[in-house]
A and B are shown apart, each in its own frame.
Chain A
Amino acid sequence: MDKTVNQKAWLLVLPVFLLVAFSAIIPLMTVVNYSLQDTFGNNQFFWNGVGWFKELLDPTTDLGGRFLASLLRNLFFSAVILAIQVPLGIVIALAMPRQGWQVAACLVILALPLLIPWNVVGTIWQIFGRPDIGLLGYALNSIGLNYNYVANEFDAWATVIVMDVWHWTSLVALLCYAGLKSIPDAYYQAAQIDGASRWAVFTAIQLPKMNRVLLIAVLLRFMDSFMIYTEPFVVTGGGPGNSTTFISIELVKIALGQFDLGKAAALSLVYNLIIIIVCWVFYTVMTNAGAERRVGLKKGVK
């Protein structure tokens, strides 16, 4: 019963190991390395321990203050995005046709914004919203609204949010549509026979049957909106002032603007950690919801 010892197997694992090392582990460890050191240029590094992390998590310091402010902006932004895009996506999915050529037409129209690269979306809205030459900005100003996303914080936020809603609501709508399509006709027929109102059909059948795709939609939209960078960077550049400076924009400022590699590395690690934790929570919730259902089936009562 001796196990065969064959070290050749390592050779087969090696390519993957190398790939992962170069694509993930080595870059990540470089960042970890930077986060524990300070540099004054000249490629000279000094050991700083957890100094940057302490500073980052202490809001009284400059770095900590900037991190906290941008974190709050990010959380607020994600909350607004979810609050708008999820209900809107559901409404759009419900309003979509179920059959015929209209389905294909709707799907194409919905998918269009998803196919546009982030910085192009930013550029489109940057021009679209300009009060002098942009259709939106010019129109709003002509009807008496003093709209200027470069000068006014509220206008800047509104522009960034509307832009994101325009860009990503389709994703939620498409996911919900897929969820709706998977509901067997018998459910609708049964609801008809049970005399259910339109609202009762929604709350008793459609919403519960969509809950899994909705969880995925919320997860995707949360992560994506929490990591937002390109579009606000192109449109507002983080301004006016710091009002639309999200964590990612702050990070780039620190890393490339000030060349504070240690601070930037610490910030990116914490940023990364937040996203991983949120993902883990979502994943656990989703798999638990599924497991509960399976267990329930087995121990059903005779």
Chain B
Amino acid sequence: MARIDLVDLAHSYSGNSSDIETFALKPISMTWRRGGAYALLGPSGCGKTTLLNLISGIIAPSRGKILFDGKDVTPLSTRERNIAQVFQFPVIYDTMTVGQNLAFPLKNRGMPRPEVEARVAQIARLLDLTANLHRKATRLTADAKQKISLGRGLVRSDVAAVLFDEPLTVIDPELKWQLRSKLKALHRELDLTMIYVTHDQTEALTFADTVVVMHEGRVVQSGTPAELFEKPAHTFVGYFIGSPGMNILPAEVRGREARISGHTIRLNRAYDALPPGANIEIGVRPEFVEIAPPASGLLTANVDRIDDLGRLRFARVRVGEVKIAARLRDGFSGSNGAVGLKFDPSHVHVYADSRLVEGAA
């Protein structure tokens, strides 16, 4: 287990390109606490697997350094870094039994037999693989194979970190939930630093203490699930996390007021020092926009449709050309015409060029 520091780390797949914008991973510096459960969240191609492979040493960075507990490991091979990684598709050794598969990483490091057996038995018990320990691994289902891969990642107790690269892609949805909560339990029990790559927000938010959101090769925000939800640092985070995503509306902001199509929305903070020339938007989650009967003082909108998500109902409305999602209270019987929108001022954020602007109190 180790603290992992990334110092100005960047990677380009096209050799020695000097144009940062073309990099798969733009320079980042950040610290991963020891024993933390992290999720790297982002859409396909945002650089999260690249970042993971840089940490495990499968690829060497174009620039920057990686420190494990303050020690520079950048030039070290994967083997020397002592790291575990689980891949998207199950990797099992065909000729071995389930038990031998689990023991493989330990045997390769010359651990004495009794210890290997004890550790394998423990991991097999945690992953419900005990009954299959003596079966050939090739004979199992994809689910069971991926459990073996997970087990091989978790079997070493001395690793700096365990990295998961979308490990539940091939698993049935029902089993996915089970395995995810199991991983969370394993994290507590085994006390390992875990980094979990996924493009599924539910997966990230349920697994991790800290979610790191990536977008186009950059880390746009890193925080607890609550922080990501309540105060997205980037419009992408607001839009990507939450279902439906945050409403991002072009607006004119002056002082404590934002204007959208001639209507004024009150803000909780004062925004006097906005960068000139920047593209100003306000962001507000659908949960904090309420549909009300049309009234003066409310922004008037037309209802397009109503999405019933079971426990919650969201209305998709339109103000001019701008589409907004808004929460529909239980008793509100949706009229299919004009409605008013009530914004909760404490949850309206202001963004300049997609980045959050902290207003003055």
Q: Measuring CB to CB, which residues of chain A are less than 8 angstroms from any residue of chain B? A: 184, 186-187, 189-190, 192-197, 200, 203-205, 207-209, 293, 296-297, 299-302
Closest chain A residue to B96 by CB distance?
A: A204
Q: Assuming A293-B138, A296-B140, A301-B131, is B152 touching A194 (CB within 8 A)?
A: yes
Interface string of B76-108 (1 = CB under 8 A from A): 011100011101110101111000000011001
Give the size category of B's interface with A. Answer: 20 to 34
A257 to B89: give the CA distance in the assembly, Å. Answer: 63
Q: Determine the chain A residues whose CB is within 8 A of the CB of B16 once the complex forms.
A: none
B83 lies within 8 A of A193 (CB): yes
Residue with the greatest number of chain B CB neighbours at <10 A, chosen from A190, A197, A208:
A190
A300 to B84: give the CA distance in the assembly, Å. Answer: 26
From B87, B108, B141, give the contact of A197 (CB < 8 A): B108
Shortest distance from the beta carbon of A231 to any chain B beta carbon, whole Å = 37
B219 within 8 A of A: no
For the complex, would chain B's binding face be called helix, strand, loop or mixed by DSSP majority?
Answer: mixed
B91 lies within 8 A of A186 (CB): yes
A189 to B149: give the CA distance in the assembly, Å. Answer: 12
Shortest distance from the beta carbon of B287 to any chain A beta carbon, whole Å = 38
From A207, A209, A301, give the contact of B140 (CB < 8 A): A301
A-B contact pairs, 30 of them (CB 8 A): A184-B89, A184-B91, A186-B87, A190-B85, A190-B87, A190-B149, A193-B56, A193-B78, A193-B79, A193-B84, A194-B105, A194-B108, A195-B109, A196-B104, A196-B108, A200-B104, A203-B95, A204-B96, A204-B104, A208-B93, A208-B95, A296-B138, A297-B139, A297-B141, A297-B142, A300-B143, A301-B132, A301-B144, A302-B141, A302-B143
A234 to B135: give the CA distance in the assembly, Å. Answer: 53
B312 within 8 A of A: no
A300 to B78: give the CA distance in the assembly, Å. Answer: 32
Q: Determine the chain A residues whose CB is within 8 A of the CB of B132 once the complex forms.
A: 301
B108 lies within 8 A of A195 (CB): yes
A300 lies within 8 A of B91 (CB): no
Shortest distance from the beta carbon of A198 to any chain B beta carbon, whole Å = 12
With A193-B105, A301-B141 given, name 17 new contacts (CB 8 A).
A186-B88, A187-B91, A190-B91, A192-B79, A193-B56, A193-B78, A193-B83, A194-B104, A194-B152, A195-B109, A200-B108, A204-B96, A209-B94, A293-B138, A299-B139, A300-B139, A301-B135
A196 to B104: give the CA distance in the assembly, Å. Answer: 8
Shortest distance from the beta carbon of B71 to any chain A beta carbon, whole Å = 19
Q: Determine the chain A residues whose CB is within 8 A of the CB of B139 once the complex forms.
A: 293, 296-297, 299-300
Shortest distance from the beta carbon of A259 to any chain B beta carbon, whole Å = 55
Q: Determine the chain B residues whose CB is within 8 A of the CB of A299 once the complex forms.
A: 139
Q: Determine the chain A residues whose CB is within 8 A of the CB of B152 once the complex forms.
A: 190, 194
A204 lies within 8 A of B93 (CB): yes
Q: Determine the chain A residues whose CB is within 8 A of the CB of B93 once the complex forms.
A: 204-205, 208
B30 within 8 A of A: no
Q: Determine the chain B residues whose CB is within 8 A of the CB of A203 once the complex forms.
A: 95
Closest chain A residue to B172 by CB distance?
A: A302
A300 lies within 8 A of B105 (CB): no
Q: Assuming A195-B79, A301-B141, is B87 touching A189 (CB within 8 A)?
A: yes
B58 within 8 A of A: yes
The 7 A-B pairs with the shortest beta carbon distances in the complex, nearest first, are A300-B141, A296-B139, A195-B108, A194-B105, A208-B94, A190-B91, A204-B93
Shortest distance from the beta carbon of A74 to any chain B beta carbon, whole Å = 33
A203 to B100: give the CA distance in the assembly, Å. Answer: 13
Interface string of B40-73 (1 = CB under 8 A from A): 0000000000000000101000000000000000
Q: Determine the chain A residues whose CB is within 8 A of the CB of B91 once the complex forms.
A: 184, 186-187, 190
A221 to B105: give the CA distance in the assembly, Å. Answer: 37
Residue with the greatest number of chain B CB neighbours at <10 A, chosen from A207, A296, A300, A302:
A300
B193-229 residues at the A interface, CB under 8 angstroms: none
Closest chain B residue to A196 by CB distance?
A: B108
A203 to B152: give the CA distance in the assembly, Å. Answer: 18
Q: Determine the chain B residues whose CB is within 8 A of the CB of A189 once the complex forms.
A: 58, 78, 85, 87
B58 lies within 8 A of A192 (CB): yes
Q: Determine the chain A residues whose CB is within 8 A of the CB of B79 once the complex forms.
A: 192-193, 195
A193 to B164: give the CA distance in the assembly, Å. Answer: 12
B78 lies within 8 A of A192 (CB): yes
Closest chain A residue to B82 by CB distance?
A: A195
